[in-house]
Structure 1
Amino acid sequence: MDVTSQLEWPAGLQDPSGCRQAKPRNQGITMVIDKGLGLHAFEDLLHTAAPYIDLIKLGFGTSPLYPAELLKTKLQMARQAGIETMPGGTFLEVAVVQGEVENCYRLIRELGYTAIEVSDGTIDLSRSKRDELIGRGLNADLKVYTEYGKKYWGSKIELDLLIETVIEDVQQGAALVTIEARESGEGVGIFDEKGVCRDDMLHSMIRLFPDPERVLWEAPQKSQQVHLLKKLGPGVHLGNIAPQDVFALETLRRGLRSDTLVWDALPANPS
């Protein structure tokens, strides 16, 4: 008897939510932030969690710190696992300040990245410059993700500007617009200084977004992930997920963890 044929979990145990899409998917995108994983750790991550990761961001300006061949290897491994990769948006901001945008795009493409993040978390970009950077990415055959929000402590979201930015970025060709929360998830964007979601702000944003499915929420803390999943559903796009938290987030999405298990959907007298 083929023992392996008996090892398939029933659908109700694999995904109690019943709504988790397989890759490539347009709901429930998970973006992981890599702050400098070595090759073996990166390989282990892909071997165990590739089906649950859609996008890996090599955070901040870490890209030029890698030996080029090692970086190429990481990006190739991710591509073979069906995962998109992009450098952190801060790196493109550095390129703008240094007048090295053209070289930045060229090297991103040559190294094997498949996407780019256009942000102004530290610097200020005019609307025309933002459009130019989005267009450059598309012309380089890169998927473009944009980001809204400043990185400094205590920064708040200007709702009208956010809605306008989301609409215009999508019109320019951005795949998703990320709402800034940094890797800490505290004192930035929709999260207060303790990392608690400002629900009044969240509700206003969702009510005004023309297409909420084009928004990715940075939510590095478990409590934030649980909160957004309960408010917006298992199909919400979440980012800045630590590599060691990918499995934990996937269980939350599927209802395989107590925080998101739908108790009233269980049988009245479970045996």
Structure 2
Amino acid sequence: MNRTTLTAKWPEGLSDPSGSRHAKPRAKGRTMIIDKGIGVHAFEDLLSTSGQYIDIVKFGFGTSPLYPPEVLRTKIETASKYGVAVIPGGTLLEAAVRLDVVPGFFRQVLAFGFTGIEVSDGTINMSRTLRSDLIRDARSLGLTAYTEYGKKLSGSRIDIRDFAETAEQDWACGAELVTVEARESGKGVGLFDERGEHREGELAMILEAVPNMDRVLWEAPLKEQQVYLIRELGPNVNLGNIPVNDVLTLETMRRGLRSDTFGLHREPYIDYMI
């Protein structure tokens, strides 16, 4: 075929064999990546390549105050150009609570142009009243509030009844999504055991207690965890703590463009060999 006859459009359906993915802004099937400190140029490259598949960028842990201010501002402005929400890690807000500097935290979040915050208590104990107040304060300032359930201590499990009650109260206060903690390692916390494998039967019990999965985001940094959740909850499950280099890989699995989920959401397997 002559190169001049080629077009920039792939055959219809080939980019999304699942037939289920939607363009941004998405109400479900959102992808949150964790940025642990990549530079401005790498960040720009990431978004120019994969920005349409990223919904939220979390600047992990308490990294935000460690950036040179101009670098932090540039990264946030770049994300905004691609329609990507940007939040500091929940650990930073926990530090602000511990140091009693929450008003200053909110002031800087707004000054730098963050679009939301993460309210978590993975490393501190936080009362229900304070958690609710932080969610409402964020909303009153025009910020999107994402919350997180679970402790970061290795071996921490999901108390299903407590999770259901916490999620309902968070949503009632205005939280956009409730994230299930799994840390950046994906091992030994929440839904996953010390090997990073899912705890048998636990997801089914969670689904009985919290049927509205469109407003739950699962931290799942490892490929096997992403495959498991896509197989169990469908391609439009909300997934977080995705490493920056794995965005396109995850999107191929959501769409059935990788062997792990090939044909999962379409017809049963057909042998196409002639």
TM-score, normalized by length of structure 2? 0.95
Are residues 1:105 and 2:110 paired? Answer: no
Distance in 2 between residues matched to 1:151 and 1:161, nearest whole Å: 16
Q: How far is 1:140 from its partner?
A: 1.1
Report the CA distance shift for 1:13/1:270 in structure 2 as closer, same or farther (over 3 A).
farther
Structure 2: stretches of 5+ with no match in the other structure: none
Distance in 2 between residues matched to 1:122 and 1:7, nearest whole Å: 49
> Counterpart in 1 of 2:33?
32
8 Å Cα contact 2:30/2:54 also seen in 1: yes
Distance in 1 between residues matched to 2:103 and 2:56, nearest whole Å: 24
Distance in 1 between residues matched to 2:203 and 2:91, nearest whole Å: 25
Are residues 1:212 and 2:213 paired? Answer: yes
> Counterpart in 1 of 2:69?
68
Paired residue secondary structure (2:201):
helix
Distance in 2 between residues matched to 1:150 and 1:196, nearest whole Å: 18
8 Å Cα contact 1:167/1:210 also seen in 2: no
Are residues 1:226 and 2:221 paired? Answer: no
Q: How far is 1:199 from its partner?
A: 3.1
> Counterpart in 2 of 1:54?
55
The worse-fitting range, judged by mean Cα deviation, of 5-14 and 151-160 is 5-14
8 Å Cα contact 1:58/1:88 also seen in 2: yes
Paired residue secondary structure (1:11):
coil
8 Å Cα contact 2:161/2:209 also seen in 1: no
8 Å Cα contact 1:157/1:190 also seen in 2: yes
CA deviation vs aligned residue, 1:52-84 (integer Å, no higher than 9, x gap): 000000000001000111100000000011100
Letter in 1 for 2:194: E
Distance in 1 between residues matched to 2:147 and 2:213, nearest whole Å: 15
Q: How far is 1:9 from its partner?
A: 1.0
TM-score, normalized by length of structure 1? 0.96
Distance in 2 between residues matched to 1:266 and 1:43, nearest whole Å: 39
> Counterpart in 2 of 1:247?
248
CA deviation vs aligned residue, 1:17-67 (integer Å, no higher than 9, x gap): 000111111121000000001011101101100000000000000010001
Q: How far is 1:265 from its partner?
A: 3.5
Q: How far is 1:5 from its partner?
A: 7.5
Letter in 2 for 1:190: L
Q: How far is 1:12 from its partner?
A: 1.9
Are residues 1:11 and 2:12 paired? Answer: yes
Report the CA distance shift for 1:254/1:135 in structure 2 as closer, same or farther (over 3 A).
same
Distance in 2 between residues matched to 1:172 and 1:208, nearest whole Å: 19
Letter in 2 for 1:153: S
Q: Counting helix residues as a fraction of each chain, which structure ranks higher? A: 1
Distance in 2 between residues matched to 1:224 and 1:243, nearest whole Å: 16
Distance in 1 between residues matched to 2:109 and 2:11, nearest whole Å: 42
Q: How far is 1:184 from its partner?
A: 0.2
- 1:81-230 to structure 2, matched below 5 A, reads 81-230=82-231
